[in-house]
Amino acid sequence: MGLDQDTIAQHDGSGLMDHDPQSASDAWGGLEALPGHPLMWVLILSELVVFGAFLLTFSAARIGDPAGFANDQLHLDRVMGGINTLVLLTSGLLAVFAVRAIKKDAVLQCRAWLAGTAALGIVFLIVKLIEYGTKIDVGIGLETSTFFTLYYLITGFHALHVVMGLGVLGIVAIWPNLTNIETGTAFWHMIDMVWVLVFPVIYLLR
């Protein structure tokens, strides 16, 4: 008795789906072509949708009360917002250097760049806390107006992601291979990109 070719393929593993590059590509919808783990990109895309919904809500509310939003916006500190923008953009650059270092198998350099990235993330949080404190000191809180309700929710949600990003950077620094570093820095770049959208929408546009 002989075995047909399909049976042989099943036994030697040549017919398994996980050996089919096209099948793997279909499973992630092409996300595996991006740097890092595809699952992180699923998270990033979902987070971008959430932040996009927040900013659309803010913009719609401003259309409903342009005068009130313009007046409340005067209480924001554009200098602090601008400083934090530069801080996060610089941290993103350091994250790029971390990826370049791990591609050269320079683990210590990679960790140093990640540490610099994280340090700037902490600076961002400190500046944000100072900004919150100055508003709370003059009685501007979450329930002051629709503008400030959305301001605290959006910027607070972003700050929470900065904290999460610090944790991610710490984890990938412990196991610094290329996939891990690209995964962690991809999340950090998402944080940068979101703030680059949040800053002008909330602080600058009228």
Q: Which tokens sit at 36?
A: 């890092």
Tens of pLDDT, residues 36-69: 577 888 889 999 999 999 999 999 999 999 999 9
- Please give the residue range of the domain that contains residue 5: 1-33
Q: What is the CATH number of the domain that holds 151?
A: 1.20.120.80
DSSP state of 176: -
Tens of pLDDT, residues 82-130: 999 999 999 999 999 999 999 999 999 999 999 999 999 999 999 999 9
- For residue 4, name the pLDDT band (cuts at 50, 70, 90): very low
Q: What is the pLDDT of residue 32?
A: 62
Whether 162 and 103 share a structural domain:
yes
Whether 63 and 157 share a structural domain:
yes
Whether 28 and 106 share a structural domain:
no
What proportion of the chain, given as a percentage, has pLDDT over 90? Answer: 76
Per-residue CA distances from 154 to 53, 57, 104 (Å):
10, 10, 38
Whether 109 and 58 share a structural domain:
yes
Amino acid at 82: G
Counting the structural domains of the chain, the total is 2
Q: What is the pLDDT of residue 5?
A: 45
Whether 144 and 193 share a structural domain:
yes
pTM confidence score: 0.83
Q: Taking Cα atoms as reference points, which of 188, 186, 167, 194 lies closest to residue 36? A: 186
Residue 97's CB: how many other CB atoms inside 10 A? 17
Whether 15 and 115 share a structural domain:
no
What's the burial of 138, exposed, middle or buried (CB within 10 Å: 0-12/13-18/19+)?
exposed
Q: d(Cα 13, Cα 115) in Å, to the nearest integer?
A: 44
Q: What is the mean pLDDT of the chain?
A: 87
Whether 110 and 40 share a structural domain:
yes
Whether 23 and 106 share a structural domain:
no
Whether 6 and 68 share a structural domain:
no
